[in-house]
Structure 1
């Protein structure tokens, strides 16, 4: 049985990489962010199409599949509209602005209706499930004849060395799809397992053998702060001379992870788009006096250590790469999604 997938909102290809690991043939990735093109095509070995999903037709996507293949359509519609973190800062957003932010989910539903793939999967933040836009998305798929299921999934249960909870949705033309059983529920991959073999570097240093193994420079005060922070600790380890004014306020006590170091023997915290700065969360290396490097962030997202994000002649843009890596679907979670789809289609074929 030939199974082929097209990946909408593909980014640098975390979900596509997971599909390929499980043996699903990825035909193309579609995204508006042209800076993802090199990484996607180099590592996924599939075409990256710089297209606006809102301007795509079902016919455009149908022609990407082989005529005799089982068609899988996957995607991670941009999650910022549904995020608890970003939602706090949009109190003055108009209804029209909000509608635009949710539009990609509606476009995803439209494309599914036009393509009629055998299987659909979507990954997003768990809070998406409380929004009317998501309820409408599910209703449209069910009206189109799909059996829809969705659930919260802990990425660390599937070999991702990171505490990351996501919503995974499946829709099938045949029967409900069950998520594959956890592989690491009782033995999570730790920060030590993931990154301890990478060579030590200093803050601001670029490793000669891997230019993505670089961390942001730190000023003298922040160097003193990270040196005063124990493994797994935070700003609460410092004396008052190093603390910021906000830390001394009652509300500052809630930001326990800011300027924190990771624990060696636990999964990392969520790798966000701000993961290269020690002031943005618990992104300090467990023992080296610096924030995690770009390569370490990628490995904690379960990208292979040799995943190529930047062309050889291209300058390394730390902020752009942090955004791409933080927004990606963890590869191992993508692999679990793919295994679930393969098992489902195999069972359907046998029956």
Structure 2
């Protein structure tokens, strides 16, 4: 069943700063609206994506709102990445069964059933596959006539310079679709490829031409620690006097990557909401004595260098923008998925 003269119109639920929307646009899909509960996403989304941002709790979004946003589009895609805190590996062992966010995937399913878009896609953390709520979501789609495929994907295979593994689901009611399974990309997948050309900074400095390229100031102790660190090494390379209390405990082996430097010629670790903070992971620059900047974190997530997260003249707040970047769907994932639906729609 083909729609050769029709362009796909997409709505992005839980749109955040626009990572998934950007990837879909890069594939040739028309993104018409993004919905998110966090008002802090509005500037980045509207400025870069150029689509309507709707500040709303997905639990309260009605089918009529989606239908209105799609307008008269003949081919409709509903996309999204439900907040993943309940399923995050950082919370292994925690009882999250009563959290509100467990229900957000059910509301995604509710909106699919009520509006019956031609295509559906969802991205999330890998551990979600083991949760009953995911099996319920997949069954809801299949019971509604959708062909469904899902699997774990690895960032470097999509040209992402980040060792990020994520769950991607694709579904269609107009034919069989498959999650893309590319060969590992030959270029563009190392830290050097992506951020090697950015201006050098000292800790605490800001690039005068890019407010997002700002290195967080280190304490004297953390400056000594990063100076004692080697790319790919651990805190075990440090002299005894630099060790943190957590390193001295028997459980210290669990913190091998904390206060670590990245390596130039490998992908970065998973970019988190705290990737500007040297002490929260392997977020030290490969050779400069500082942590990653927000710009570097964004580029390692797959955003282009000029992507705007704050108005010009406004100093970006590390915690606010760090959250927007770390929670984003890497655009290369969105582009690959978009291409799947473009091919399906034209078939």
TM-score by length of 1: 0.94
Match of 2:198 in 1: 198
- Deviations, residues 118-177 of structure 1 (Å, cap 9, x unaligned): 000000001101111111111111111111111001111101110000000011002221
Match of 2:307 in 1: 307
- Alpha-carbon distance between aligned partners in 2 of 1:272 and 1:56, rounded to the nearest angstrom: 28
- Alpha-carbon distance between aligned partners in 2 of 1:101 and 1:230, rounded to the nearest angstrom: 39
Assess if the C-alpha contact under 8 Å between 1:234 and 1:257 holds in 2: yes
Match of 2:23 in 1: 18
- Deviations, residues 89-142 of structure 1 (Å, cap 9, x unaligned): x34x5x5x33x2211011000000111000000000011011111111111111
Q: How does 1:267-282 map to 2 (within 5 A)?
A: 267-282=267-282
For residue 188 of structure 1, report the CA deviation from its aligned partner: 5.5
- Alpha-carbon distance between aligned partners in 2 of 1:131 and 1:149, rounded to the nearest angstrom: 17
- Alpha-carbon distance between aligned partners in 2 of 1:49 and 1:132, rounded to the nearest angstrom: 29
For residue 243 of structure 1, report the CA deviation from its aligned partner: 1.0
Does 2:42 match 1:37? yes
Match of 2:3 in 1: none
- Deviations, residues 15-71 of structure 1 (Å, cap 9, x unaligned): 000011111000010001111101101100101010111111111101111424210
Aligned-residue RMSD, C-alpha? 1.3
Does 2:96 match 1:83? no
Return structure 1 stretches of 4+ with deviation > 6 angstroms: none
Q: Answer with 195-204 or 181-190: which moved more.
A: 181-190
**Structure 2 residue matching 1:121: 3-state secondary structure:** strand
Match of 1:109 in 2: 109
For residue 254 of structure 1, report the CA deviation from its aligned partner: 2.4
Residues 49 and 68 of structure 1: is their aligned pair in 2 closer, same or farther, counting only changes over 3 Å? closer
**Structure 1 residue matching 2:166: 3-state secondary structure:** strand
- Alpha-carbon distance between aligned partners in 1 of 2:126 and 2:211, rounded to the nearest angstrom: 34
- Deviations, residues 244-301 of structure 1 (Å, cap 9, x unaligned): 2321222102211111000000000000111111111100000000000000000000
**Structure 1 residue matching 2:292: 3-state secondary structure:** coil
Q: How does 1:89-104 map to 2 (within 5 A)?
A: 90-91=94-95, 95=97, 97-98=98-99, 100-104=100-104
Give the total of aligned pairs.
342
Q: Which runs of 5+ in 1 are unaligned?
A: none
- Alpha-carbon distance between aligned partners in 1 of 2:183 and 2:49, rounded to the nearest angstrom: 24
**Structure 2 residue matching 1:216: 3-state secondary structure:** coil
Q: Which runs of 5+ in 2 are unaligned?
A: 1-5
- Alpha-carbon distance between aligned partners in 2 of 1:319 and 1:288, rounded to the nearest angstrom: 22
Q: Answer with 193-202 or 309-318: which moved more.
A: 309-318
Does 2:155 match 1:155? yes
Q: How does 1:119-138 map to 2 (within 5 A)?
A: 119-138=119-138
For residue 338 of structure 1, report the CA deviation from its aligned partner: 0.7
- Alpha-carbon distance between aligned partners in 1 of 2:109 and 2:73, rounded to the nearest angstrom: 24
For residue 313 of structure 1, report the CA deviation from its aligned partner: 4.2
Match of 1:323 in 2: 323
**Structure 2 residue matching 1:241: 3-state secondary structure:** helix
**Structure 2 residue matching 1:63: 3-state secondary structure:** helix
Q: How does 1:274-293 map to 2 (within 5 A)?
A: 274-293=274-293
- Alpha-carbon distance between aligned partners in 2 of 1:202 and 1:185, rounded to the nearest angstrom: 32
